[in-house]
Structure 1
Amino acid sequence: MALTIATRTRVVIDNDWAGDPDGLVALAHHLLSPGHRVDAITSSLLSPVFAPAPGSAAAGALLASQLVELVGGPHRPPVLAGSEHPFQDGGNPSAAADAIVGAARADDELPLVVVCGGPLTNVAAALEQDPGIASRMSLAWVGGSLTGAAEYNRDTDPAAAARVLATPGLQVRQFPLETYRQCAWSVAQIEDLLTSVGPVGDWLWQRFVELPLPEGFEVDAVWPLGDSCPLIGTALSAESSTWQPGEHETVQVCTRIDGALLFGDMVALLRRHARRSTARGGASAT
């Protein structure tokens, strides 16, 4: 007899899905987690360093859509592309910003958490479009640095980060560079897991293998899976991690994350999905 897990939050998941594949690994975890409900998935742009021409948000939306179909199940959230340009005053109208506003304005007994594992472009655009949603949602963001060090998610769109983190009334849980680097796995560990959990894992591993790296480029032996951090507060429990006040009074910063809980849950859910898929004869069974 199976236990029924309480669904305590609903989430909109925003990320630059065309970039580091750890975002897609986190997305699979989100989609499989019974502790929250995924209402929408939105895609943000990559840094111009990695995407010299517009189109990275759309490319990311395509990847996220493919993963949603692979995971399958009766509830398949919509995937919407965001702006292909950094935030500017007046906002960046997009389907992604519309989705965030719509989810925040929806009447629902579950609280909304917007989970962002990339630049805050789409979140800033949504807040610019409707400032009133700040009190109807909270944000979990993987980004920034406690020491002011260079950090990709913040630095890809610093204007968006400044706009969002200074929003009055917006409750934020932040997972900075120093924290998400605690989520380090060896590349061998990632390959071993993903190639053992069926078609979803095989697809995810291909995203690592097919990264457009320069010929002869050698990756480090360690790869942080930092975009998984927000699941601690949405699908699981934040109590066993360590927190401190942030620069703004509405920001709480995670300084130590319970990786055993976070990744133990991820591994168990991926393995369970693979077993059920095999038993039912299809990759999309859940």
Structure 2
Amino acid sequence: MIWSRRGAVGAGIAAALATGARLSAAAPRMIPQKVGARVIVDNDFAGDPDGLVALAHQLLAPRSHVVLVTSSFLSSEFKDPAKIEGQTARQGYDIALETISRLKLPHPVPVVGGAEGPVSPTREPSVAAYAIVAEAMRDHSLPLIFTCGGPLTNLAEALRQEPKIATRMKVIWIGGGGYPDGGWEYNLAMDAEAAREVIERSKVPLWQVPQPAYRQMGYSIAEMAADLRPISPFTEWLYDRFTTPPDFVELGGVWPMGDSPLVLLSAITSETSQSHEIPARRIGKDLRYGEAIPGRTIRVFDVLDARTTHADFLARLRLHSAAKVK
């Protein structure tokens, strides 16, 4: 072999090109995001599919680690023949399991069925209530957040079973009428006594997202068809959950993703939304807010960052789909 300066330079270039090829084939460097909290996801999954959107988003968010999923019941006023009265928490359990299965996650997520009706002093607490207590009492370095997009029944039963859990978690709840008056709102009306248990009789830290705030989370139906549906087989399945709304629902140009603030506030950021701390107030029989509760405060959200929430969800789905293709 004849060695020359030109040959040495050529060999160096070839080596550099080979090294560059190996580096380009390696995974790109990503902005690091550490897990900041454990999360329990509680929702009436058999109802409005926005709960499934929030569940999928929470599972894909790197800032939170979902340690438990619990299902709650639906109102008997839902006349959907696919909904079996007295078994809607069980049906919610089933569809939560299916959602998780279709996402094809690398780790298992425990799912537990909740109560099939409002809190009752004579009924044995649900399996979900026992699971919530067990997770809250578990020693762990990460703080625990309980996110709820339906009635507060499962949490209220857990608090009655073990009041100590109030100091071991934070609660983010989608529910209640707007301040200062309050009034009828679905999640509150489904189990007002559960809300009283959580707000009036416990000291658990509470972030409340009332109706006027969560209604800001409208998601363009055109965007759902153009941007969400085509991403993957999972998003096609998820989109199809929205194509058979109840007969009494008359849609305009948006679908209200009212449960998505749970993910925004627990796994993305609360800093781009607006909230204020107020004295907690009692809940009247008419679901209006009454007198202040001495020594009890809650944080109420007024303005939510819908743009970041929806954009983050789409991006997480694309990244997840791309990772599955490789």
TM-score between the two structures when normalised by the length of structure 2 = 0.81
What residue identity is the alignment partner of 1:45?
F
Between the aligned partners of 2:38 and 2:125, the Cα distance in structure 1 is 23
Between the aligned partners of 2:279 and 2:237, the Cα distance in structure 1 is 39
Between the aligned partners of 1:240 and 1:91, the Cα distance in structure 2 is 42
1:32 to 2:74 alignment: no
1:126 maps to 158
2:304 maps to 257
2:14 maps to none
1:284 maps to none
Listed one character per residue, the Cα deviations across residues 177-219 of structure 1 (whole Å, up to 9, x for unaligned) are 00000101122222323312212211111211244x34x9743
1:5 maps to 33
1:209 maps to 243
Aligned residues: 277
Which of 151, 159, 170 is the equivalent residue of 1:138? Answer: 170
1:274 to 2:321 alignment: yes
Following superposition of structure 1 onto structure 2, how do residues 154-193 of structure 1 map, counting pairs within 5 Å?
154-193=188-227
Give structure 2 stretches of 5+ with no counterpart. 1-28, 281-295
What residue identity is the alignment partner of 1:154?
L
Q: Determine which structure has more spread, i.e. the larger CA radius of gyration.
A: 2
Between the aligned partners of 1:238 and 1:90, the Cα distance in structure 2 is 39
2:75 maps to 47
Q: Give the secondary structure class of the aligned counterpart of 2:241.
A: helix
Listed one character per residue, the Cα deviations across residues 23-51 of structure 1 (whole Å, up to 9, x for unaligned) are 10111100100001000100000011115
Contact 2:54 2:262 in 1 (8 A): no
Q: Give the secondary structure class of the aligned counterpart of 1:208.
A: coil
How big is the alpha-carbon RMSD for the aligned residues of Structure 1 and Structure 2? Answer: 1.7
What residue identity is the alignment partner of 1:204?
L
In the TM superposition, what is the alpha-carbon distance from 1:103 to its structure 2 partner? 1.0
What residue identity is the alignment partner of 2:297?
T
Cα distance change on mapping 1:99 and 1:159 into 2, 3 Å: same
In the TM superposition, what is the alpha-carbon distance from 1:3 to its structure 2 partner? 2.8
Contact 1:11 1:38 in 2 (8 A): yes
Contact 2:42 2:149 in 1 (8 A): yes
Contact 1:141 1:172 in 2 (8 A): yes
Q: Using CA pairs under 8 Å that are at least 6 residues apart, name the structure with larger relative contact order, 1 or 2.
A: 1
Contact 1:170 1:250 in 2 (8 A): no
Give structure 1 stretches of 5+ with no counterpart. 281-286
TM-score between the two structures when normalised by the length of structure 1 = 0.92
Which of 75, 80, 94 is the equivalent residue of 2:126? Answer: 94
What residue identity is the alignment partner of 1:30?
Q
Contact 1:229 1:262 in 2 (8 A): yes
Between the aligned partners of 1:2 and 1:244, the Cα distance in structure 2 is 34
Cα distance change on mapping 1:42 and 1:17 into 2, 3 Å: same
1:231 to 2:263 alignment: yes
1:283 maps to none
Structure 1 segments (4+ residues) deviating >4 Å: none
